[in-house]
Each structure stands twice: as C-alpha cells, then as structure tokens.
Chains A and B, each alone.
Chain A
Amino acid sequence: MPTTVRVSHVTRRYGPVAVLDDVSFDLSPGITALLGPNGAGKTTLLGLLSTASRADAGEITVLGRRADGPLAERTEIRRRLGFLPQEVRFPAGMTAFGFLDYIAVLKKWDDTAARHDEVRRVLGVVGLEDRPTIKVRKLSGGQRRRLAFAQALIGDPDLLILDEPTTGLDPEQRATFRSTLSERARHGTVLLATHQTEDVAAVCDRVIVLVGGRVAHDGDVAGFVASARDRVWLGERPVADAVATWRDPGGGVRSVGGTPPADAQAAPPTVEDAYLLLVGPRAVQGAA
C-alpha cells in the first residue's frame, strides 16, 4: 500500500514552546483518526501537512512532494489536497453554489462547465443539492458545516484532512458523513482530527494520539480499544483513583482506570475509554 504522507522527526516551535516535538508517522489510504487533548498540537500538525506552515525541524512528504519544498512542490500538494479547517468563516452575501464555485477556481478548475458539474456533485454528496442558490447566511449551523465539508471534496482529492468535521451535525447528518468518509477511504487517504471518539470507532482504521506534542499512540483502532480491556469498571460506587467516572444509563457507575472495588465488574471498553486511559487527567481537564 503506497504511503501518502510521511512525517519524519518533525518539530514545530512557537517561541520557546515545542508544540510538536519529534513527531513521526506514515499515512496510507484509509481513515486515520488524530486524537489529542486541546493544545496537543493537532491543528499545528494539520497546518504543516496542508502546507500552510513549515516545520522547524524534520521532513514532511505529502503525495511524493515535500511539504516545505519550493512553491511548485507545495502547489502540487495543494492540488490534490482537500482540507477542512476547524472553524470556517463564510463570506456574507454568497450563495452555497457561489462559495463552492469560487473555491473550485482556487483549486484550478478552469473549465467552467466541468467546474459547475463538480460543484453540483459535491453539493449532492453533502445533501445540499436542493439549496444551491440559498445565501450561506441563511443555512443552519449543520448545513454550513456540510457546505464547508463539500469544499474539501472538490476534485476528489487524494488526501483529505478534516479538523473537527462533525461539530454541529445532527445524528442523521453524522451518519451521512460517515458514509461519505467510508466511500472516500476506498481510494484515498483521510486524516480525521476529532474529539468525537464515536466517529473514530465507527469509521477509522487507525488512530494516532498526540499528547504534549508527541505521538503517544499509533496503531489500529481495535488494538487501541483492546489496550483498555479490564481497566473499565461498572459498579455501585465510583472508583476512587479512576481517571474518569460517570453515571451509567443502567443505574450504576462507570469508572475508567483505577483500582476497582470488589463489587465492580469489568465493562467492554470503548475508544473513549482507551483515550482517557492513555491521556489521563489531561483529557478530563481538556474536556472541562
């Protein structure tokens, strides 16, 4: 399987602070989740991969081109890259179609008819095909998020980098999103930075966890979940030294980590449990 992205000993500093510290991993076709608490360096890493910024040390190769290479190399990467930022500020007064059409031009779609066909296609993929002429400001939050996702799909990119794509989506929209991602994963590479661990469990093949600017875990999702086996408990009372505890819908208390009391029973772990155990109190603080 070809390597789409190669990150080799990458460090990125903001002043004296190393936001990314000697990070290395490869990406191949499929869906890889990027997890980590707030401030772990996820957005910085995505910025480097998308050629928006440059590493202070190390090397990043995307689709065979150096992400910190000359402009021609970076342009080649950008042509085959779909990127969805965490926050999208839409221009006032633009229609959904106009917004996507403009971005398609920025992605070098110079044939007007083909470009318009492509815009209609991605509108259909995100379920907005019946709303092309509506002003963006009149779309709901979830529709705007889908529109932002649609721009990342223009040109059927080989590499899709998504930063918190499902924020603001309702369950049905999230299911549609997962279907789209699953389809994409058949012939492309998707890097999904998210806090939604249920999305990771649903569609991702692999998970990378960043903690404090370093790779704390890199492996398949099943193995990641398995790392939490026999460390998640259901009981009557919270486990005193657990990383996190909360009320279970069954009436008991679910505890992640810690020393279980005698009456506690091991519960099947989830991605979220494994993440909490790996990241520890920082995850709980980050979520607060």
Chain B
Amino acid sequence: MTAAESPAIVTVAEPARPPWMDLARIEVRRYAGRPAFLVGLVLTYATLLPYLDGDEPTDELSMIAPAALLGMVGLSVSAHRVWASDRCAEAAGPTPVGQASRTVGHLAACVVPFLAGLGFVLLTVLRAQSVPTVRGGYAEMMSDGWVAAVWFALGAVSCLGGPILGVVVARKTKRAAAPIVTTVGLVLAVIVFQGLFEPLRRVRVVLPWTYWGGPFGIDGDPQRSVVLSGSPGWWLTYLIVLCAIGAVVAVRTDVEARSARGRTALIVLAGLAVVTVVLAMFTGTAETLVSPVPGDGPAWGG
C-alpha cells in the first residue's frame, strides 16, 4: 500500500466534559417539563392543603401521594423519555456517545421527582415540628429517627425508585404497555404485602413500598392499630441499594458498556440488598406492637 492509498486517519480532540453531563441537563429539563410530572406534582402538594390550618394528624399514609403521583407516574414518564431518546439515537445510527451515556442521563433526570418528593417530606416534617399533634397515630409512640426513615423512604425514595424502574423497564423492552403493566403489578404486590395479612408482615419489607403501622387489626380486632416489626432504617438502606441495582442494570443493557467492574458492582449490590433486607426484617422493632386501645376507639396517640 502506498502512502497515497493509505486510509485517511482522523483524530478528533476529546470533549471537555463527559457527554452524559450534557445529556443529564437535557433530560432533567425535559423530565421537569413533562405534563404528567407537572400534574402529579400539583396534585401531590395539593394533598397538603387540608393540613394548612388544622391539627389533622399526619402519618405515613400521607406519603402515598408523592409515591403514587410522582413515583409511579414517574415510572411511565421515565420509560417514555428513554424511548424518545432511543428514537433520536436510531435516527443518527451509531454515535460516539452510546446508549449507556444516554441511560445515565435518564437516571440523572430521576433527581427531579426525587427532589419533589423530598420537598413534600420536608414540608411534612416542618409541620410535624410546629404542630404538636401532627405526627399522630401509632407513629407518635416511635422515635424521631424511626418516623424520619419511614417518611423519607415512602415519600422521597419512592419518587426516585419509580422513575429508575421506568428506565430499567424501557431498557429491557420496547412494549408500550410495559410501564403500565409494571405499575399495576407493583400496586397488586403492595396490596398483598402491605401488612394487612399477618403471615406476611415479616417479609413485607422485600417490597419497595410497605406500611410500617396503621389500623391493620390483630387478634380478632380488625381496626386495632399496630406498629409492624422491622427496622425502617435498614429498609431505607435496602431501598437505596435497590435504586443503585436498577441504575447498574439499566446501564449494563448497553452491550458495549458492559465491563467486569460493572458485573462486580452488581454482585456486590445484590449481596448488600440481601443483607439489608434481612436486617430490615430482623432488627428494629422485634414484634408487632399492638395499641392497647380497641379498634373502635381512637388509635395511638389519638
């Protein structure tokens, strides 16, 4: 091969910062502008309105608003954002910035619903500090750390986990119904595991959403308030590990981005998940605490 025939070698300077940072900025902006997210945001904060000038007790039940309206809705929002970016990428063919970087951008955008959920939890905490009876119910009997862990896990981490699960779902399938089917499946699992059924109360913490107390009934009193066993602190850690697993799984769907380091991280995280969920089951409150007040009377602290 002569010099004149040699293939042209081209070298281009590397960009100043990792491309996922630009993608993250774009995806954060786009996530924050999604109508489904904005409606969920408004409705979530609207649930605080009845508490503005009253002393209505607040407990973990109120955390269902951000979990459902930001977390579960976020599952669909994320999935559709991933698919939209896939279409862009397919339109350009193979690009220097691959699927893994785009996935990281989408994962970064999950901070939007997380911050919205965190804001909701902080407002609830502030209210709990200013209105003495606000904590209400069974939670009044538990420590501040116990309450904070439960509220943070249910109200904020669920808003992170739902959208991350949406990214994972979109990376695993292109079926348009997948986000809805996943959401419905999650809701059904929560209904079964939430603590209503006594035999499942120990293992309920394997779910990313579960109740830690309420008028679930016990010993023939269907309305009796109880605090369920387990450690919400370890459960919170378990949920964060689940989020990390979801992120790694989503990134690793890009075959070009798979590495031994990623596989090791996944194995370590899976181990951590097992350890933390077992700790969540067997540490903390040892047994179900039962309100001395009968079910037809006021609940804990009422």
Contact = CB atoms under 8 A, between A and B. Distances in A.
A148 B91 contact: yes
Contacts, number: 117
A158 B11 CA distance: 12
A90 to B, nearest CB: 6
A89 B86 CA distance: 10
Contacts of A93: 84
A129 interface: no
Contact of B7 (A2, A52, A83): A2
A110 B23 contact: no
Contact of A64 (B8, B15, B22, B88): B8
Contacts of B92: 83, 103, 106-107, 151-152
A64 B11 CA distance: 10
The winner among B17, B92, B94 for most chain A CB atoms within 10 A is B92
A50 B97 contact: no
B4 A2 contact: yes
Contacts of A64: 6-10
A108 B8 contact: no
A262 interface: no
B171 to A, nearest CB: 16
B8 A3 contact: yes
B19 interface: yes
The winner among B7, B9, B91, B256 for most chain A CB atoms within 10 A is B91
Contacts of A63: 7-10
B96 A158 contact: no
Contacts of B85: 91, 102
Nearest to B33: A93
A164 interface: no
A27 to B, nearest CB: 10
A270 interface: no
B297 interface: no
Given A64-B7, A103-B95, A89 B22 contact: no
B10 A158 contact: yes
B220 to A, nearest CB: 55
A80 B93 CA distance: 12
A51 B87 CA distance: 18
B16 to A, nearest CB: 6
B219 interface: no
B32 to A, nearest CB: 14
A74 interface: yes
B39 to A, nearest CB: 16
A106 B256 contact: no
B90 interface: yes
B26 interface: yes
Contacts of A151: 91-92
Given A103-B91, A106-B102, A110-B17, A75 B96 contact: yes
A54 B97 CA distance: 19
Contacts of B87: 89-91
A99 B95 contact: no
Given A2-B7, A63-B9, A83-B93, 19 more contacts: A2-B6, A4-B8, A6-B7, A52-B93, A65-B9, A76-B12, A79-B12, A85-B93, A90-B87, A91-B83, A102-B26, A103-B91, A106-B88, A107-B95, A108-B19, A110-B19, A111-B16, A158-B10, A161-B93
Interface of A: 1-6, 50-52, 61-65, 71, 74-76, 78-81, 83-85, 88-94, 99, 101-103, 105-112, 148, 151-152, 158, 161
Interface of B: 4-12, 15-17, 19, 22-23, 26, 83-85, 87-97, 102, 256
27 contacts: A3-B7, A4-B7, A50-B93, A52-B94, A61-B7, A64-B8, A71-B256, A74-B94, A75-B96, A78-B96, A81-B94, A84-B93, A88-B90, A89-B90, A91-B84, A91-B88, A94-B84, A101-B26, A103-B88, A103-B95, A106-B88, A107-B92, A108-B15, A110-B16, A110-B17, A112-B22, A158-B8
